[in-house]
Structure 1
């Protein structure tokens, strides 16, 4: 066996790497005879393949390998492997690089009779290499994303993807998920109903719980997830129905929590900020044995608010264990628990639901006793097994319980100078169990390479909701009015302050079952042309809802709704050069509609067609990525709460709905990400979306319900959004390590309230767009770091609107600072 040794001396690893300079040893082994390898292991003629590992023997993923003369390259997978085929015999310059490292060029020889196999051993440990990966300095197109389930780079996926890593979350001192989402172009915070949760939308469609995932399993979105526990946030834009079944079009989001490590270390930190924010946090990880590692992180948070009489307390812990059962098998067991007590806040209200009340940002129309108490616990087990060098199987089982105890003044609307304050109370208890198993692998049919995914998933929701109550001293049509206050006498006559006794009338149990199977294949016809095709079959059972009256014990059941459908997907990727990919795709999906129609019959599902096309580019050896995506989404049936009942009365039942016609969402997204010089990171994006009623259904004869007005833009969807962030870290001098950053986020004009109908043509109004600007500064010295942020420095005043009764002003200018200490141990 001939041995060729290539020695690479790397440059500075950047601000997040422990060592300043590092040496890489690359061993290229060229076999003298193909007979020395088995048929399976024998490299193909004119091929180059290999494996990259760290000094401690762990796979080194996302390292770039390029044949300079052919301008062809690839990126190592998560297992460190890579391959290049159909190389003509000759001498080539091999270009091997990793983020933050000085690239090195060396000569190799490819013959037509023998393949070349390369094993690369890096001097960095997995921990040191992960520091670089986490730093977000990779091109956004060169690494796989867990949400796609296929072990392929984003460049080969006919879909737009965004990944926000831990470094960005830390540097920007993200307090809520909306702080992270500001970095994702085309995804925006749509509303914050009573300040109890954040609702996101993408491409005109809301996420909801079905589109939110944690470690690959669905998670309830009825509370604020903890940011300090996250390794990264993944967003897969466009349709994901083939992978996850019942999801709304637009995007899905996956929150990946921190994973155990075999290197001992951790961090303790303290965050303080405006309005009495105090947040101590800890993160500890390390080995228990040679095959078991652990990680535990947690935090406590106490905060006031820029809103009068509003406060919050949170407790969070996230333990996890990693078992290296064998070189090919690992098991991760993880869970977390969140307890969050806070003041529901419906904001400042509207004038008859048609305009926002003009009052100071801090004005609070609630009471001193109102509360919301949330508990959320999740647990999951993930098993990953490498069958051989080409095939692997992954399984995941997860459990979640979500509980909420809520009692508040809500749905604020002024009529002239007075405000009726209605009462609302709810008890929610949701249990959710899910299981997924995926098989992924690669094989060849002649010169064509296939990357295959096949899987099945199933889940079960059981939700108990108590939302119908009798209130002591309540009055009005529904006996839920607390009191009436005068706008002019707010200072002198604040209104009633006692907490009425509330008695539950009934409880509803809503069981939902889902099952699906899917298969898709990325067919690499050549290095330039790839085709992705797949199909999913989904079954969804919205089982009979059981209503139990507390006083009598009487039970009634609604009729269940059971749907199934096939969801196909097809896409083509063409790469004229390795750093540019053009793609087009089509997908079809369906979503079930909860509730019932005017005849108390279950609603039919909505069918959705989605078309997408775009181009992904990496320029200047990965220093700049520029992506462009255009799309069209057509929803055949949009469900909304019915305006009137069948007999013409005003409808007060939120579960009574009607299909009002079709909607169309057209849009374009532009994404830029770059690291033009050492220490400088730039991310920017712009999106345009127009979602409107494209088909209006005329009410049948004898029915008084009004359809939506054709051509109207749907509420809570701005035409324009944009984001930009620039961070620079000093590389030399006495202030080396000092970091400066600026972030800007723009949300354009949007319609809010309710969409107009022919029966009620004036139910919505417009809110102007706004821009917020944040400044960041940070400094690291040895194991210490300090970061500070001044957010909304212009003190912009605008609103997040939920329907027409929860109008929450955006936060004013605020200050946040975090001091952290990192440590390592053996």
Structure 2
């Protein structure tokens, strides 16, 4: 059910504040604005076209949809010039008035040869745009790897507030859940994308938070192995969040977002020059929200300032920082009965938490990026980043009730801190050796993690807080008091990582290219220090651990025509495994081989991008929580791990996106994955060969269509529809040989489809956008193992009122 009353109240406040601000800006404006759209004579948007005013040499460039904006222009008559490589400049005269927006659309109409260049180069399809996650300016058409990008238009159109809102547009990357839904976790090609696989502006980012989306310019996904570039990553994918950066022109946006269940979120984005060589940007938001889940609340503060300093024409320094404070209620959902059966009869809103449970997170990021153009062909890039993370948590856990619904509530109290430092140096350049052309990347990186974990004695050591019944909450009187929790232990763990790598894209002919590279990685994990705060002593656990390996990569790209490329690649990497086995010994690393092949196409003169990929990933020994202790008894803890045997992940992916007619944009995709055990030991506790691994849906699909009216009385009206499918998957645990249970440990979770519809209108600098999500009010669950069983969000309404200036 949609809580329209609270949404309407928020909207009234939002509308009044935004309109008042817009009128204030207009009233005091002493300059004018020029805006418009540049297209080809076939009606296609012309992106990346230079637009400037001749008299004052003030300029900008069109974005991908062909639009441009020139702000803070003094009143007067000007000559506006649109230019592009290979085309004759187009000139028009225009008059600018104070406090007004002057619109001017331009059409580039040249001969057919030059027009084709505009359509292919100026618009630049996804296969033509290099991604920063690749660390080198190589267009995806030349890379033997699958890449997906979700841009700012989709992020804005769908009113994304968190990373999962963006990622659901990427096929093959599925949202999972974590203990208590306190963070977001994703699975790709059968692998969990943890902290090692989530990046922000190229540096690793903690995955124990829910990333804020208001600062995102785009999200890049490098599917498959990225071990050569980033070292210790799984074989699934790497996600890189690219944040908004400073601009050398004044502007910005204020927005107020409101929705169902008391959702309220003002957003401010301001940018501009401080001096001729120094520009700034500041993005900030405050978010407060209730939930369709009783007693679940969230409060968030997020700020993201940045500075760009152009030391010279060859050197830029970008300083970025962000601060996140997020307080939310842990939510373990509706729970499970008898360890295997989902409690699907429970209300979608039913919660079984205490009134005082909390999960409070603070995270600070800071980074410095230096780009220096050594020569016309060589560039040096240096990145240094630091992240500080603190999590304070206290809540009941693991809703695993008996068949009659009885559940003994046990508590977990934790305090976790993380200090993370990362630095990387990348040298890129182009050169020739005889008839061969090279696009070379040479890099080195170093990282240091320090994790601090505090242990607590709760309620004077009582094992059980109280007993409740999840089928009949009136059966027992639940406790509501906050028990004492004494901090009696602290564990400090350090991790050091180093790596050097080289990669070369060799152009043999215009149609044939070879990508080859090699990385050497080293990881050191010193012995943990354990402090007994009661006794005032400290000790070490296990021995220090050292891992190192070479990771090769080779790929072949064949382009029979400029709009199509076929590719095939092989890569190998190792994943160091943390934790110890039941005998106290460190685990050996897992070796992963990945094979990938596919075809990339730019069809209909670049209007449609259609890519297809198949892959196989073989992990020689997957590490998981131990099934039995050293005496052969069932093990229910999290400390001990084991190498469970070989897994194989096979799959296929299809990606489609484009702009077929002016104003009509779409993206769509489908993926299939089959990850299973393929070679396990024939001993007690071994997992069954051929069984699909938990948490990985076999099928995922997505499709979104957005249309903006162009030449009617309703010009500026936007409509959109999106559909997202997550296929059937297994929760619980995989079955093992010799297990005591007579039933399967797997929990079958059905697939589900949700639909979102959007409607919006833009008039000059004012925009109103509304979205109705989960239109059919579909009910399904995200399940973490077998105890955190969380219903998906029901039908909800969200609206955003914004003003650009």
TM-score by length of structure 2 reads 0.86
Equivalences for 1:646-661 in 2 at 5 Å?
A: 646-661=630-645
Residue 88 of structure 1: aligned partner? none
The answer to whether structure 1 residue 297 and structure 2 residue 283 are counterparts is: yes
Quote the Cα distance in structure 2 between the aligned partners of 1:591 and 1:492: 49
Please, which of 363, 374, 382 is the counterpart of residue 395 of structure 1? 382
Residue 383 of structure 1: aligned partner? 370
Q: Structure 1 residue 101: deviation in Å?
A: 7.9
Residue 723 of structure 1: aligned partner? 702
Residue 779 of structure 1: aligned partner? 761
The answer to whether structure 1 residue 196 and structure 2 residue 178 are counterparts is: no
Q: Is the 8 A contact 1:746 1:771 kept in 2?
A: yes
Please, which of 696, 714, 718 is the counterpart of residue 735 of structure 1? 714
Equivalences for 1:601-612 in 2 at 5 Å?
A: 601-612=585-596
Residue 665 of structure 2: aligned partner? 681
The answer to whether structure 1 residue 321 and structure 2 residue 307 are counterparts is: yes
Residue 619 of structure 1: aligned partner? 603
Q: Which runs of 5+ in 2 are unaligned?
A: 1-32, 42-47, 66-82, 91-104
Q: Is the 8 A contact 2:346 2:471 kept in 1?
A: no
The answer to whether structure 1 residue 440 and structure 2 residue 390 are counterparts is: no
Residue 226 of structure 1: aligned partner? 212
Residue 523 of structure 2: aligned partner? 540
Equivalences for 1:569-718 in 2 at 5 Å?
A: 569-699=553-683, 705-718=684-697
Q: Structure 1 residue 548: deviation in Å?
A: 1.1
Q: Is the 8 A contact 2:564 2:599 kept in 1?
A: yes
The answer to whether structure 1 residue 251 and structure 2 residue 268 are counterparts is: no
Q: Structure 1 residue 504: deviation in Å?
A: 2.4
Q: Is the 8 A contact 2:294 2:351 kept in 1?
A: yes
Q: 1:102 to 1:192 in 2, by over 3 A?
A: farther
Residue 68 of structure 2: aligned partner? none
Quote the Cα distance in structure 2 between the aligned partners of 1:660 and 1:278: 46
Per-residue displacement from partner, 1:223-273 (whole Å, max 9, x unpaired)? 111100111101000100000000011100011111000010011010000
Q: Is the 8 A contact 1:635 1:662 kept in 2?
A: yes
Q: Is the 8 A contact 2:163 2:211 kept in 1?
A: yes
Q: Structure 1 residue 544: deviation in Å?
A: 1.0
Q: Structure 1 residue 688: deviation in Å?
A: 0.3
Residue 414 of structure 1: aligned partner? 401
Residue 116 of structure 1: aligned partner? none
Quote the Cα distance in structure 2 between the aligned partners of 1:429 and 1:294: 31
Equivalences for 1:107-122 in 2 at 5 Å?
A: none
Q: Is the 8 A contact 2:40 2:109 kept in 1?
A: no
Residue 3 of structure 1: aligned partner? none
Q: Structure 1 residue 331: deviation in Å?
A: 0.2
Q: 1:659 to 1:57 in 2, by over 3 A?
A: farther
Equivalences for 1:813-824 in 2 at 5 Å?
A: 813-823=795-805
Mean Cα deviation higher: 628-637 or 178-187: 178-187
Residue 43 of structure 1: aligned partner? none
Residue 733 of structure 2: aligned partner? 754
Q: Is the 8 A contact 1:393 1:437 kept in 2?
A: yes
Q: Structure 1 residue 556: deviation in Å?
A: 2.1
Q: Which SS does the other structure have where 1:170 is aligned?
A: helix
The answer to whether structure 1 residue 764 and structure 2 residue 746 are counterparts is: yes
The answer to whether structure 1 residue 463 and structure 2 residue 451 are counterparts is: yes
Q: Structure 1 residue 489: deviation in Å?
A: 3.5
Quote the Cα distance in structure 1 between the aligned partners of 2:209 and 2:175: 14
Q: Which SS does the other structure have where 1:19 is aligned?
A: strand
Residue 498 of structure 1: aligned partner? 481
The answer to whether structure 1 residue 274 and structure 2 residue 277 are counterparts is: no
Residue 76 of structure 2: aligned partner? none
Q: Which SS does the other structure have where 2:342 is aligned?
A: coil
Q: Which SS does the other structure have where 1:155 is aligned?
A: helix
Number of aligned residue pairs: give it.
723
Q: Is the 8 A contact 1:384 1:392 kept in 2?
A: yes
Q: Is the 8 A contact 1:95 1:103 kept in 2?
A: no
The answer to whether structure 1 residue 809 and structure 2 residue 797 are counterparts is: no
Quote the Cα distance in structure 1 between the aligned partners of 2:486 and 2:710: 64
Q: Structure 1 residue 486: deviation in Å?
A: 2.4
Equivalences for 1:64-143 in 2 at 5 Å?
A: 104-106=109-111, 138-143=124-129
Q: 1:94 to 1:333 in 2, by over 3 A?
A: closer
Q: 1:236 to 1:102 in 2, by over 3 A?
A: farther
Q: Structure 1 residue 61: deviation in Å?
A: 10
Q: Structure 1 residue 491: deviation in Å?
A: 3.8
The answer to whether structure 1 residue 482 and structure 2 residue 474 are counterparts is: no
Q: 1:436 to 1:287 in 2, by over 3 A?
A: same
Q: 1:200 to 1:23 in 2, by over 3 A?
A: closer
Residue 798 of structure 1: aligned partner? 780
The answer to whether structure 1 residue 454 and structure 2 residue 442 are counterparts is: yes
Q: 1:524 to 1:188 in 2, by over 3 A?
A: same
Q: Which SS does the other structure have where 1:18 is aligned?
A: strand
Per-residue displacement from partner, 1:479-530 (whole Å, max 9, x unpaired)? 2x21111245314645111111111232111100000000000001121111
Q: Structure 1 residue 469: deviation in Å?
A: 2.3
Residue 48 of structure 1: aligned partner? none
Q: Which SS does the other structure have where 1:676 is aligned?
A: strand
Q: Is the 8 A contact 1:614 1:629 kept in 2?
A: yes
Residue 18 of structure 1: aligned partner? 35
Q: Which runs of 4+ in 1 moved over 3 A?
A: 20-24, 51-64, 93-97, 100-109, 491-494
Quote the Cα distance in structure 2 between the aligned partners of 1:690 and 1:525: 36
Q: Structure 1 residue 732: deviation in Å?
A: 1.4
Q: Which SS does the other structure have where 1:168 is aligned?
A: helix
Q: 1:273 to 1:107 in 2, by over 3 A?
A: closer
Mean Cα deviation higher: 499-508 or 559-568: 499-508
Q: Is the 8 A contact 1:611 1:633 kept in 2?
A: yes
Q: Is the 8 A contact 1:94 1:107 kept in 2?
A: no
Residue 507 of structure 1: aligned partner? 490
Q: Which SS does the other structure have where 1:793 is aligned?
A: coil
Quote the Cα distance in structure 1 between the aligned partners of 2:108 and 2:178: 47
Quote the Cα distance in structure 2 between the aligned partners of 1:179 and 1:17: 33
Quote the Cα distance in structure 1 between the aligned partners of 2:254 and 2:62: 28
Quote the Cα distance in structure 1 between the aligned partners of 2:209 and 2:507: 42
Per-residue displacement from partner, 1:690-713 (whole Å, max 9, x unpaired)? 0000111233xxxxx501111110
Per-residue displacement from partner, 1:330-359 (whole Å, max 9, x unpaired)? 000010000000100111111122011120
Quote the Cα distance in structure 1 between the aligned partners of 2:661 and 2:436: 39
Per-residue displacement from partner, 1:135-174 (whole Å, max 9, x unpaired)? xx75211100001112111111111101111111111001
The answer to whether structure 1 residue 177 and structure 2 residue 176 are counterparts is: no
Q: Structure 1 residue 457: deviation in Å?
A: 0.2
Q: Which runs of 5+ in 1 are unaligned?
A: 1-15, 25-50, 65-79, 83-92, 110-119, 123-131, 700-704
Q: Which SS does the other structure have where 1:379 is aligned?
A: strand
Q: Structure 1 residue 59: deviation in Å?
A: 9.7
TM-score by length of structure 1 reads 0.84
Q: Is the 8 A contact 1:730 1:737 kept in 2?
A: yes
The answer to whether structure 1 residue 519 and structure 2 residue 502 are counterparts is: yes
Per-residue displacement from partner, 1:334-391 (whole Å, max 9, x unpaired)? 1000000010011111112201112010000101100010000000000000011110
